[in-house]
């Protein structure tokens, strides 16, 4: 629908009108004497808008509370607001058609609240949970469960079985409009991706899905934060018509159509700023979603009770002329520049005042100051004290951010590394992250130089992190700590020589790992390596075998020609690594860095391998009509 129902010829009795809001974070900063009421004021305004627009229902997209176990104060204030604005004698025109035992299996009455004879609901509230108010503790309960037990809202989309997620819709009718409301409460993104790829997220759409308006509300990362750290829109089922996307706080409430899937996505954002980021400084909204058969209309409503928030950037390098002062005067000059910018931001914040009687007047101000020269570093405290009674966040107005400057000195450190890393297109070659990491740590000196960790292993762990192994860094540090401790125990150095011995250990580890990688690439086994530790382990095995063969060849040539010789014994397996264990190694043959961990004690297969196996196992067709979430992706 291109216009609201009131401006069209569509009968109101056939239109489902929904107030949509997400990420209300009730209780955020409640002990702050200045900002403690902000979250409740914005949520109350959303409820007031629901009454004013005579909506049929309210839809919450998760993170109603800021923490999973909110204070009694926060819970009590929320209950009061819901009672004040959602109870009453207003007739409910929504007809609930799906099985409440499936949709509300964990609720007290296992029914939609407006059909409960003990409740007098005027505006039903439907909610999923987010990552801030997810079930936890004994009984795996969320505060949303508590509100559901009181009958004040309908909690759906909850899933405690994280081996298989079945998404059944709430089927709601009003006149000629049929709404299938799907919900997925928050699941860790990497876990949800694994479930998708294994075919274990299953949608159960209505039998005649083309006749229903299929609406999904979920609470996940939408912005690309790296592999397995967000949910790609293209992975969602194409039968969906509209998606309410919670969790992301920057407001992008105007519906955007995905070209590939054809469904529309609305990201309402948060109603209160929980961080001083640039995205949080965007205007806060809720929305009225009107649905008529397969058509919809979204009317965004700018909230009037939100505290003004201005975010800005200041680049000190753009003020070179003003900062061309002796050191004794430089601090004063920087203070003048920064103070002037903050004053401008405070004036700009006044433009966000709405004359609403409940709107907080003191603004949030965040100035991100960029600098490249260490001489421009300053202590913000002096400046921030100047604005104690003029802003709501006097202690953290300023954020210092050092910019990387590509100076001649940087290029001189390692021309290949920096030209490859920063001028990739000019070089026209494929740059691997592990190469950039290796080049960086081989050029830096002083405090930034690695003392124990191998630079090659550090590059490998970066590669594994990109591939989705979230535990790669932890395993690498634990692995190297074990090796370093064993190395020191063998050397038993004096206290004053520990640093020197650790330096030798790091160099030896780096040399061994480099040779290991080269042998792995030569053997074509790199695809089987599932972690930095396994790469090191496999490589050392090949080094040991290579040295054994060289040693055996040396012995064979030294044996008398009249000797019949002897056949080689079975090659030492990779489970026996250590000094003197490798068969045929001469006394003078330099042993690689020793590893005592056996192959039998290795971690489970990589996530990618496990997903591939799971995806194969779950490829059986379903007997009932179901949509397998992401089964054809990746």
Q: Catalytic amino acids?
A: 132
- Tell me the two tokens of residue 145: 């469960």
Q: Is 619 helix (H, G, I), strand (E, B) or coil?
A: coil
Among the listed residues 545, 532, 539, 535, the one whose alpha carbon sits nearest the alpha carbon of residue 581: 545
- Please report the beta strands in 84-212, taking only residues with DSSP state E, as ranges in sequence order: 95-96, 125-127, 154-155, 165-167, 170-174, 177-184, 201-203
- Please report the beta strands in 408-514, taking only residues with DSSP state E, as ranges in sequence order: none
Q: How far apart are CA 189 and CA 161, in angstroms?
A: 15
**Is the Cβ–Cβ distance between 23 and 282 less than 8 Å?**
no
CB neighbours (10 Å) of residue 509? 24
CB neighbours (10 Å) of residue 627? 19
Neighbour order of strands in the sheet with 201-203: 165-167, 201-203, 627-628
Q: Is 248 helix (H, G, I), strand (E, B) or coil?
A: coil
Question: Which string of DSSP letters, residue by residue, matches 423-437?
Answer: -HHHHTSPPPHHHHH
Calculate the dihedral angle through the C-alpha atoms of 388, 389, 395, 397, rounding to the nearest 10 degrees.
Answer: -100
Provide the angle, in degrees to the nearest 10, between the axes of the packed helices 189-197 and 607-617: 40
- C-alpha atoms less than 13 angstroms from C-alpha of 616 in its C-beta half-sphere: 5
- Alpha carbon distances (Å) from 582 to 488, 491, 505, 568: 22, 21, 21, 13
């Amino acid at each position: 629908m291109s216009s609201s129902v009131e401006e069209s010829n569509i009968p109101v009795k056939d239109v489902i009108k929904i107030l949509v809001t997400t990420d209300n974070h009730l209780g955020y900063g409640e002990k702050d004497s200045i900002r403690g009421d902000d979250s409740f004021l914005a949520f109350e305004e959303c409820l007031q808008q629901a009454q004013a627009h005579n909506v049929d229902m309210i839809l919450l997209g998760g993170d109603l509370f800021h923490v999973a176990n909110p204070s009694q104060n926060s819970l009590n204030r929320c209950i009061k607001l819901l009672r004040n604005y959602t109870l009453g004698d207003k007739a409910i025109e929504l007809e609930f058609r799906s099985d409440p035992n499936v949709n509300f299996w964990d609720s007290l009455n296992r029914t939609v609240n407006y059909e409960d004879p003990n409740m007098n609901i005027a505006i039903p509230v439907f909610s999923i949970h987010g990552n801030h108010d997810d079930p936890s503790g004994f009984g795996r309960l969320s505060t949303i469960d508590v509100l559901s037990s009181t009958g004040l809202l309908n909690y759906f989309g909850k899933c405690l079985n994280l081996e298989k997620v079945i998404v059944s819709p709430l089927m709601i009718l009003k006149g000629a409009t049929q709404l299938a409301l799907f919900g997925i409460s928050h699941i860790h993104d990497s876990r949800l991706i694994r479930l998708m790829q294994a075919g274990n997220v299953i949608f159960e759409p209505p039998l005649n899905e083309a006749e229903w308006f299929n609406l999904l509300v979920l609470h996940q990362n939408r912005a690309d934060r790296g592999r397995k750290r967000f949910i790609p829109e293209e992975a969602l089922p194409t039968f969906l018509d509209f998606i309410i996307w919670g969790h992301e706080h920057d407001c992008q409430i105007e519906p955007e159509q995905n070209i590939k899937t054809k469904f529309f996505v609305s990201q309402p954002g948060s109603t209160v700023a929980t961080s001083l980021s640039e995205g949080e400084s965007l205007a806060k909204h809720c929305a009225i979603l009107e649905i008529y058969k397969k058509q919809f209309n979204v009317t965004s409503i700018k909230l009037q009770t939100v505290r003004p928030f201005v975010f800005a950037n200041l680049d000190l390098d753009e003020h070179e002329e003003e900062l061309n002062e002796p050191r004794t005067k430089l601090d004063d000059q920087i203070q003048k520049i920064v103070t002037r910018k903050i004053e401008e931001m405070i004036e700009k914040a006044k433009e966000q005042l709405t004359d609403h009687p409940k709107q907080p007047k003191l603004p949030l101000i965040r100035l991100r100051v960029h600098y490249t020269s260490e001489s421009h570093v300053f202590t913000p405290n002096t400046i921030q004290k100047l604005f104690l009674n003029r802003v709501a966040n006097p202690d953290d107005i300023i954020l210092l951010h050092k910019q990387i400057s590509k100076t001649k000195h940087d290029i001189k450190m390692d021309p290949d590394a920096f030209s490859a890393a920063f001028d990739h297109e000019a070089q026209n070659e494929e740059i691997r992250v592990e190469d950039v990491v290796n080049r960086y740590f081989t050029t830096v000196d002083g405090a930034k130089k690695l003392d124990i960790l191998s630079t090659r292993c550090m590059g490998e762990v970066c590669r594994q992190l990109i591939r989705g192994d979230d535990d790669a860094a932890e395993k690498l540090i634990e692995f190297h700590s074990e090796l370093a401790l064993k190395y020191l125990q063998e050397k038993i150095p004096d206290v004053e020589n520990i640093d020197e011995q650790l330096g030798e250990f790091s160099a030896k580890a780096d040399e061994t790992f480099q040779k290991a990688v080269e042998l792995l690439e030569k053997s074509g086994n790199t695809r089987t390596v599932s972690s930095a530790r396994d790469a090191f382990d496999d490589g050392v095995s090949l080094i040991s075998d290579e040295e054994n063969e060289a040693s055996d060849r040396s012995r064979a040539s030294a044996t008398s020609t009249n000797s019949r010789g002897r056949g080689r014994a079975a090659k030492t397996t990779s489970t026996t690594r250590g000094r003197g264990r490798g068969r045929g190694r001469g006394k003078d043959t330099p042993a690689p860095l020793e590893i005592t961990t056996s192959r039998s004690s290795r971690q489970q297969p990589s996530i990618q391998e496990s997903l591939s196996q799971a995806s194969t196992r779950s490829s059986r067709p379903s007997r009932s009509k179901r949509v397998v979430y992401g089964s054809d992706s990746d």
